[in-house]
Amino acid sequence: MTIRSAKTTCASFRAMGALPFVVLILLASASPARAHRLDEYLQATRIGLSQDRVELNVDLTPGAGVGPSVLTLIDQNNDGQISPSEARRYAARVADDFRLDLNGRSRTLRVLDVKVPLAADLVDGLGTIHLDLEVVDATLTAGHSSLTFRNEHQPSSSVYLVNALKPTSAAIEITGQERDQAQQGVRLTFDVSGSAVPAWSWLVIAVVALGAVRYRPFRVLP
């Protein structure tokens, strides 16, 4: 009985002794992905389609390994801060590095909004730059359409994600989405089932209808 107990005890110690090595193996397998992430500039773009506009929502997240170089691109006066004007200029620079064609025609992107983190957070890999862009003169007409997008901003240090958002209008149906292997670009095909009517036009129609009811002439009974 004593010998059996000793063997059991030794086996238990061996099992406990192996545990740290298992943990080390798991940590080692996770380390390359984490190290790789530090050296990346992650650029995620989401494309939204509606009848009267095409929007792009972009999140730019530099890892700590590339954060200082990204800050250098933004902080033009080297004061260690990101001013609103510097943020807008950088957003315009990113938009200029995007290529977007709608139905075979090259389109211009306009910056709607930009949100930037603190410079220190950006350098430490803890901050995300958020951009809202829109395609100039992108009213969609009824029928079959296609959109091609490609992100050419900072390709040497970047990884990319691109995706189409589900359209908010039932009149638009995405029929195809083809990304390249790096997700640096995408081609969307979609159908628009009705003519594009700007959202504000419904307000005009409602006001006119209300006025017609309010000021409708009435007949006085004899």
Residue type, 217: P
Q: What gap in Å lies between CA 5 and CA 166, rounded to an integer?
A: 64
Residue 26 in domain: no
Q: Is the dihedral of CA 196, 94, 152, 164 positive or negative?
A: negative
Q: What is the reported pLDDT for 105? A: 96
Q: What is the reported pLDDT for 10? A: 46
Q: What is the reported pLDDT for 142? A: 94
Residue 3 in domain: no
Domains in the chain, number: 1
Name the strand (E) or helix (H) holding 108: none
Residue 186 in domain: yes
Residue 29 in domain: no
Q: What is the reported pLDDT for 203? A: 53
Q: What is the reported pLDDT for 37? A: 72
Whether this prediction's pTM lies above 0.75 is answered by no
Q: What are the phi and psi torsion angles at 27 (to 5°)?
A: -65, -40
Contacts of 103 (CB under 8 A, 6+ apart): 145, 146, 147
Residue 181 in domain: yes
Chain position carrying tokens 């209008």: 169
Residue 33 in domain: no
Q: What gap in Å lies between CA 172 and CA 49, rounded to an integer?
A: 8
The fraction of the chain above a pLDDT of 70, given in percent, is 71
Contact (Cβ atoms closer than 8 angstroms) between residue 58 and residue 44: yes
Residue 216 in domain: no
pLDDT in tens, 23-52: 444 444 444 444 447 899 999 999 999 999
Show pLDDT as tens, one digit a residue, over the chain (222 residues): 433 444 444 444 444 455 444 444 444 444 444 444 789 999 999 999 999 999 999 999 999 999 999 999 999 999 999 999 999 999 999 999 999 999 999 999 999 999 999 999 999 999 999 999 999 999 899 999 999 999 999 999 999 999 999 998 999 999 999 999 999 999 999 999 975 445 545 454 455 455 554 555 545 445
Gyration radius of the chain's alpha carbons: 28
Residue 7 in domain: no
Contact (Cβ atoms closer than 8 angstroms) between residue 113 and residue 131: yes
- Range of 65's domain? 38-201
